[in-house]
């Protein structure tokens, strides 16, 4: 079921927080690339992006390359800053 992209991202973040809360486990940086189905929907005078993880491994004939969502989270300050 497609839902707003912000909700999907919140659920991913909640899962990472739950992993980090386990004893003996500390996440400092996470990167992932996930197959995703997206659909723009016009609602209330704006556009909302609906999304969900791809549930089928077969590629639609009209879509030669499935969409991919690449995410990165880091715990703490600016991980990309250098001296």
Handedness of CA 76, 18, 30, 58 (dihedral sign): negative
For 28-83, the pLDDT digits (tens) are: 888 999 888 889 999 999 999 999 988 765 655 555 566 888 999 887 755 444 43
Q: What is the pLDDT of residue 81?
A: 43
**Sequence ranges of the domains in the chain:** 3-74
Q: Are 36 and 69 in contact (CB under 8 A)?
A: yes
Among the listed residues 56, 19, 50, the one whose alpha carbon sits nearest the alpha carbon of residue 35: 56
Distance in angstroms (rounded) separating the CA atoms of residues 23 and 69: 29
Among the listed residues 81, 72, 76, the one whose alpha carbon sits nearest the alpha carbon of residue 30: 72
* Mean per-residue pLDDT, 3-22: 88
How sure is the predictor about 4, in pLDDT bands with cuts at 50, 70 and 90?
very high
């Amino acid at each position: 079921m497609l839902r707003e992209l912000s909700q999907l991202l919140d659920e991913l973040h909640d899962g990472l927080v739950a992993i980090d809360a386990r004893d003996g486990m500390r996440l400092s940086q996470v990167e992932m690339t996930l197959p995703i189905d997206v659909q723009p929907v016009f609602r209330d005078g704006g556009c909302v992006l609906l999304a969900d993880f791809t549930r089928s491994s077969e590629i639609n004939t009209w879509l030669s390359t499935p969409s991919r969502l690449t995410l990165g989270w880091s715990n703490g300050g600016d991980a990309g800053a250098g001296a």
